[in-house]
Amino acid sequence: MLTQAPKGTKDILPGEVYKWQYIEKIISEVCNTFGYKEIRLPVFEHTELFQRGVGDTTDIVQKEMYTFLDKGGRSISLRPEGTAGVVRSYIENGMASLPQPVKLYYNITAYRYEKMAKGRYREFHQFGVEAFGSTGPSIDVEIISILSTVFNKLGTNEIKLNINSIGCPKCRGEYNEKLKEYLNPKLHHLCELCMTRYNRNPLRIIDCKEEKCKEHTKDVPALVDNLCGECAEHFEGLKAGLQNLGIAYNVDKNIVRGLDYYTKTVFEFVSENVGTQGTVCGGGRYDGLVEACGGVATPGIGFAMGLERLLLEMESRGIHIPEPKGIDLFIANIGEKAFKFAQKLVYELRNKGIAAENDVVGRSLKAQMKYADKMGADYVIVLGDDEILNGKAMLKNMKKGDQKEVSLESISQIFNK
């Protein structure tokens, strides 16, 4: 136990971190060009926020949250997702008084006590975006186009977009009655949890992961075919906007999403490479959430993408992520005088932004050369008493194998970038 990470967590080792840094860099560049600003939030929130925000009939809240009492007796939960925290921050920090829409993005870890599977962890990473204060479908299109831009830049544009609309409380209320009528004769076939959901939130039943529930809900009437006039118009606007940008989509009437806050637009980007659930990214509109969490009624929309799943997709498609460069210069030394000189020179070079290293373990010259090679050093200089005395040394190009004499004073100019 002591030397094993908890189930569902994964170390990201130094040899892999560059992949994460690469996608995080692209994500922040794209968000900046779209005018979205980064927000950083606490890892834990009051449990009530998720009960209210994500919804207390969802699998996430009912089965998957890491919840505990802190030493002050407060019920705290590790965030199972980012949206509720962003909404809390939007309200708490008075962002309603900022020019709208308020456009935010985040890169977070999230926590769900889920069954382990390919692409499914208990601690995972989400890149998410939220936009507040715009009701029309054009912001829905903008949000989706952030993802298609990220996918274009990463070379993962084969990930498919599925969209749907789950209406507003008005059309959903009418639909819920139809759904209950349909499910009534099948009720005794559903799982225990879904039997309780029947009266409280029947739409959740469609999203249940239990096989028997899936079987009995596969032909339910679709919400998108039962929208009110305003929601239907919104959905048409979304489709027209996507067509205008040339973003291909498929209408998937079965998307209801696993969180309670959605209204109107819902969408998922899917790929068969990322595990059984296939969802790389999911999102949608949540026009009632800010108000439900205690703020003034404000429309909102966003998405979150699982970065582990994005990396799985990139790996399955053989997309190469450029590896970071090794060190520029390794200064090998023989003897005390040379060591002191190397130590100081390396410090000066590093201050100028040059990736330099010297021996800090007391290795033999042969071992130092071996180390420099392993570290992928571009150049190596060997310093001994003679070199220090004469102020000159041989600079070896490790890739080409050739070398030339250089003055020790000139080294920092040679490597100046």
List of residues contacting ligand HAM (CB under 6 A): 81-83, 112, 114, 119-121, 124, 126, 128, 130, 258-259, 279-284, 302-306, 308-309
Question: Would you say 111 or 341 has its CB closer to ligand HAM?
Answer: 111
Minimum distance, C-beta of residue 57 to ligand HAM, in the bound complex (Å): 15
The two three-digit tokens of residue 341, written as one number:
């000189």
Question: Would you say 278 or 326 has its CB closer to ligand HAM?
Answer: 278
Question: Would you say 220 or 259 has its CB closer to ligand HAM?
Answer: 259
Question: Would you say 101 or 341 has its CB closer to ligand HAM?
Answer: 101
Q: Which residues of 112-130 are buried (b: 16+ CB within 10 A; e: fewer)?
A: bebeeeebbbbbbbbbbbb
Of all residues in this chain, which one has the CB nearest to ligand HAM in the complex? 306
In 52-201, DSSP assigns E strands to 67-69, 75-78, 102-111, 123-132, 160-165
Minimum distance, C-beta of residue 143 to ligand HAM, in the bound complex (Å): 9
State the Cα–Cα distance between residues 13 and 7, nearest whole angstrom: 17
Question: Would you say 280 or 346 has its CB closer to ligand HAM?
Answer: 280
Minimum distance, C-beta of residue 307 to ligand HAM, in the bound complex (Å): 8
Strand order in the sheet with 329-333: 356-358, 329-333, 379-383, 392-397, 403-407
Whether 90 contacts 41, CB under 8 Å: no
Minimum distance, C-beta of residue 118 to ligand HAM, in the bound complex (Å): 10
Pairing relation of β-strands 67-69 and 75-78?
A: antiparallel
Question: Would you say 82 or 241 has its CB closer to ligand HAM?
Answer: 82
What H or E segment, with its residue span, contains residue 406? strand 403-407
- Rg value, the chain, Cα: 28
Minimum distance, C-beta of residue 55 to ligand HAM, in the bound complex (Å): 12
What H or E segment, with its residue span, contains residue 267? strand 263-270
State the Cα–Cα distance between residues 247 and 87, nearest whole angstrom: 28
Question: Would you say 16 or 386 has its CB closer to ligand HAM?
Answer: 16
DSSP states along 11-70 = ---HHHHHHHHHHHHHHHHHHHHTT-EE----SEEEHHHHIIIIITTSHIIIII--EEE-
In this structure, what are the phi and psi dihedrals at residue 315, rounded to the nearest 5 degrees? -65, -45
Minimum distance, C-beta of residue 306 to ligand HAM, in the bound complex (Å): 2
Whether 258 contacts 64, CB under 8 Å: no
Minimum distance, C-beta of residue 36 to ligand HAM, in the bound complex (Å): 12
Question: Would you say 138 or 343 has its CB closer to ligand HAM?
Answer: 138
Minimum distance, C-beta of residue 117 to ligand HAM, in the bound complex (Å): 9
